[in-house]
């Protein structure tokens, strides 16, 4: 076994509760997407949230925000493949998840329509505004979100990652792909679709996409081959597509040192 220690948590802006050397939070998988039930906002909760590595922002149901006294303190643009919409939010929220804490968090009061298609009882999304403050592993096989030293077998692959709006990107044979625990499947931007067409719903709207058959390599190894969603326009400059974390047994994202481990 090889150990990849999570170091420098104190150097990141998220913290563990006093006396904790690590943290393990149980996750539930719905169609391959990780959900957690123990999210607290300013002491209110627990709430069920989606862990979304592909979202820059945190999101919260507007009705829930009102019920716990969170009033809008900002307005900003929310962008996705479907376009741009203006939303309101609050930028002074403390988040607690097990022994993990992060203060001064911004939440947008919109963008849950697509998430509710996954499960109507999801009350919010924890995106990179929260996740980028920690080193962590999403263990889909064990259904755990781990903060602490992590061990992998000899087949685990460690590669560096880049960032786009705090979201982790890995180089693939098709270009830089965003690691996205909120994606239903492999998505390729800037590609024309085939004859199969369907409607795709995102946090800022819906649009028609097609499908293509392709393969994807990471570090020279073939990780995936099959049917991908082809989005004709590019969501972000420098992002070639979305790589769902559900393709792997576990993914460890080390924000303090800038690498990711696939198992």
Helix (H) or strand (E) segment spanning residue 243: strand 241-244
Helix (H) or strand (E) segment spanning residue 65: helix 62-67
User: For 131-152, how does the pLDDT look when each residue is reduced to its tens digit (9 = 90+)?
Assistant: 999 999 999 999 999 987 677 7
d(CA 75, CA 207): 24
User: For 167-219, how does the pLDDT look when each residue is reduced to its tens digit (9 = 90+)?
Assistant: 999 999 999 999 999 998 999 988 776 666 666 665 555 667 788 899 999 99
pLDDT of residue 9: 40
Query: Own/partner pairs for 215-220, CB < 8 Å, 24+ apart?
Result: 215/173, 216/172, 216/173, 216/174, 216/177, 216/186, 216/243, 217/172, 217/173, 218/157, 218/159, 218/170, 218/171, 218/172, 218/173, 218/262, 219/157, 219/159
d(CA 75, CA 99): 31
d(CA 251, CA 57): 20
Number of H helices, E strands in the chain: 3, 25
66 three-state secondary structure: helix
Residue 12: both structure tokens together: 């990141």
Please state the rounded mean pLDDT for residues 5-26. Answer: 56
Can you give the length of the chain in residues? 263
Please state the rounded mean pLDDT for residues 241-246. Answer: 95
pLDDT of residue 110: 81
Distances (CA, A) of 135 to 1, 149, 227: 20, 10, 31
pLDDT of residue 20: 46
116 three-state secondary structure: helix
Residue 231: both structure tokens together: 């989005």
pLDDT of residue 4: 43
Residue with more model confidence, 204 or 220: 220
pLDDT score of 1 more than 50: no
Global pTM value: 0.86
pLDDT score of 69 more than 60: yes
Domains of the chain: 2-150 (2.40.70.10), 153-262 (2.40.70.10)
Q: Which residue has the tokens 């993914």?
A: 251
Q: Whole-number mean pLDDT of the chain?
A: 85
User: For 77-129, how does the pLDDT look when each residue is reduced to its tens digit (9 = 90+)?
Assistant: 776 555 677 889 999 999 999 989 999 999 999 868 888 988 999 999 999 99
Lowest mean per-residue pLDDT among 31-35, 45-49, 223-227, 258-262: 223-227
């Amino acid at each position: 076994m090889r150990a990849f220690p999570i170091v420098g948590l104190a150097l990141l802006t998220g913290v563990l509760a006093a006396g904790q050397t690590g943290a393990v939070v149980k996750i539930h998988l719905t169609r391959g997407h990780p959900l957690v039930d123990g999210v607290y906002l300013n002491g209110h909760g627990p709430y069920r949230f989606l862990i979304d590595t592909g979202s820059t922002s945190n999101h919260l149901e507007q009705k829930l925000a009102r019920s716990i006294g969170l009033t809008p303190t900002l307005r900003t643009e929310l962008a996705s493949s479907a376009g741009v919409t203006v939303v309101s939010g609050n930028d002074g929220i403390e988040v607690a998840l097990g022994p993990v804490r992060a203060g001064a968090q911004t939440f947008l009061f919109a963008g849950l329509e697509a998430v509710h298609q996954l499960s109507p009882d999801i009350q919010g999304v924890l995106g990179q505004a929260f996740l980028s403050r920690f080193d962590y592993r999403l263990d889909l096989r064990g259904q755990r979100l781990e903060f602490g030293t992590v061990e992998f077998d000899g087949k685990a692959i460690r590669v560096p990652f880049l960032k786009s709006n705090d979201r982790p990107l890995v180089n693939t044979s098709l270009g830089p792909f965003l690691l996205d625990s909120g994606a239903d499947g492999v998505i390729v931007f800037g590609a024309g679709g085939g004859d199969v067409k369907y409607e795709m719903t995102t946090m800022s709207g819906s649009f028609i996409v097609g499908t293509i058959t392709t393969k994807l390599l990471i570090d020279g190894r073939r990780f995936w081959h099959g049917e991908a969603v082809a989005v004709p326009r590019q969501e972000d400059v420098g992002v070639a597509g979305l790589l769902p974390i559900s393709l792997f047994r576990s993914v460890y994202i080390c924000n303090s040192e800038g690498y990711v481990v696939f198992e």
